[in-house]
Amino acid sequence: MRTARPPSGDLAVVQSYYVRMATLIEHLLKLTDHRERDHLELTLCRALIDVIAIDRVVMARVLNEEGDKRWLEIASLDARGGGKVVDPLRVDFAALRPLEDYQDRMHCIAERVKVEVAWAGEEGPRITYIPLFTDARNDTEGVVEIHSGAVLKLEQWQTVEVLLHVFRNMYHLLAYSDRDALTGLLNRNALDDTFYSAVLEELDEGAQAQAKLLEATVAPGTERRHRVPPNYWLGTVSVDNFGSINDRHGHLIAEEVLLLVARIMNNTFRTYDRIYRLGGDQFAVLMHCPDEMLVLAAFERFRANMEKFNFPQVGRVTACAGFTRVTPDDSPDTTLGRAERTVDFAQHSGRNKVFSYGDLVRKGVFEDYHKTGAVDLF
């Protein structure tokens, strides 16, 4: 990949060139310094704003929920300083714009080509759409949307290509490191990273805001509005009688069953839910959902999809699932412990079942719950 040659002649031009190169190198170092994919998008946006004379940059990804595809603007940055980053785990899918609302974006990802749209003459302001990944899979479809006041020069496009090339390499490198080698699902290390960097941080912020509101003095007759802490849930899944499947059909067939279970999970849960393989026949799902019954319904759909699927050479295979709410005092181990205890209860209750840890506590089946203030946290 070629970059522009250093200019010669005017000292101011030469100095400007080397300042740009120093800024580019600084941002390349920042891109390669990350250990989590969640921060790469904003870092790329900042690099494009700082190194190239553009007005705005947007990174839009495609989310898919039961065949309904919508746009999530996962990161955006304005040259004047405004911007945002969105965690897919916390989005309101129904509020996102349908794919067909942005025909130019659709053309860009469908053809894997750069699409340039000018609305005030050939040399005037424009939006340029670039595929986020040239070899995009279903979980990485998206575009980089560059807003500029005029046509970008060749050396500017070369810089864009360099930054995108480094971004893509880092994204795939980090994706490889936090993926399970057999199924391609996220692994246990990825679960720990998400727990500590996103989920517990937001839950703690929500709990602190709730406490401040409860302590605040409210004038008589004034309604007290409480911020509801975010609702995160962690569920685990175990394949019923997996040891027997391995003994009867052999290791290769057992691995094929795990691959198909992973596929059923991907097809059942939302694209922005995080699905993990913990090892062996154990899987996990981390989701953000406002209501326990909706979580139960999601795991029941998965259980039913497993039950009706015809596994080649094996036939009917079922699974048990158990889930629990995540609290600010949790660690990945404590939350997994509650979910796995719930799965064990399901397997000892006849298998092919789904239970909520909180519901079992309320019914008196489990007694180990803790209290914070006057609120029971399950």
Q: What is the DSSP pairing of strand 370-372 with strand 375-377?
A: antiparallel
- 171-185 pLDDT, tens digit each: 888 777 888 989 999
The pairs formed by 300-307 with CB atoms below 8 angstroms and a separation of 24 or more are 300/354, 301/268, 302/237, 302/264, 302/265, 302/268, 302/269, 303/352, 303/353, 303/354, 305/264, 305/267, 305/268, 306/261, 306/264, 307/352
Whether the CB-CB separation of 93 and 66 falls below 8 Å is answered with: no
Question: Looking at the predicted structure, is the pLDDT value of residue 51 above 80?
Answer: yes
Highest mean pLDDT among 78-87, 214-223, 294-303, 328-337 belongs to 294-303
Spatial distance between the Cα atoms of 93 and 69, rounded to a whole number of angstroms? 9
Spatial distance between the Cα atoms of 147 and 163, rounded to a whole number of angstroms? 17
Could you give the percent of the chain with pLDDT greater than 70? 77
pLDDT value at residue 170 = 83
What are 83's strand-pairing partners? 77
- 151-168 pLDDT, tens digit each: 998 888 988 898 898 888
Averaged pLDDT score across all residues of the chain: 82
The pairs formed by 25-29 with CB atoms below 8 angstroms and a separation of 24 or more are 27/51, 27/163, 28/162, 28/163, 28/166
pLDDT value at residue 201 = 64
Whether the CB-CB separation of 60 and 68 falls below 8 Å is answered with: no
The DSSP secondary-structure symbol of 349 reads T
What are 237's strand-pairing partners? 283, 321
pLDDT value at residue 193 = 83
Confidence of residue 10 (pLDDT cuts 50, 70, 90): low
Angle at 246 between CA 240 and CA 247, to 5 degrees: 110
Spatial distance between the Cα atoms of 18 and 375, rounded to a whole number of angstroms? 60
pLDDT value at residue 16 = 53
User: Tokens in use for 151?
Assistant: 């046509």
Whether the CB-CB separation of 247 and 260 falls below 8 Å is answered with: no
Whether the CB-CB separation of 47 and 252 falls below 8 Å is answered with: no
pLDDT value at residue 211 = 45
Whether the CB-CB separation of 86 and 72 falls below 8 Å is answered with: yes
> What is the separation of C-alpha 218 from the centre of its chain, rounded to a whole number of angstroms?
39
Question: Looking at the predicted structure, is the pLDDT value of residue 225 above 70?
Answer: no
Question: Looking at the predicted structure, is the pLDDT value of residue 236 above 70?
Answer: yes
Domains and CATH numbers, the chain: 11-177 (3.30.450.40), 188-377 (3.30.70.270)
Whether the CB-CB separation of 258 and 81 falls below 8 Å is answered with: no
Question: Looking at the predicted structure, is the pLDDT value of residue 369 above 60?
Answer: no
Spatial distance between the Cα atoms of 343 and 278, rounded to a whole number of angstroms? 14
Q: What is the DSSP pairing of strand 142-148 with strand 56-65?
A: antiparallel
Which residue did the predictor score with more confidence, 122 or 320? Answer: 320
- 248-264 pLDDT, tens digit each: 999 999 999 999 999 99
Which residue did the predictor score with more confidence, 203 or 162? Answer: 162
pLDDT value at residue 226 = 33
- 302-359 pLDDT, tens digit each: 999 999 999 999 999 999 999 999 988 888 999 999 999 999 999 999 999 999 999 9
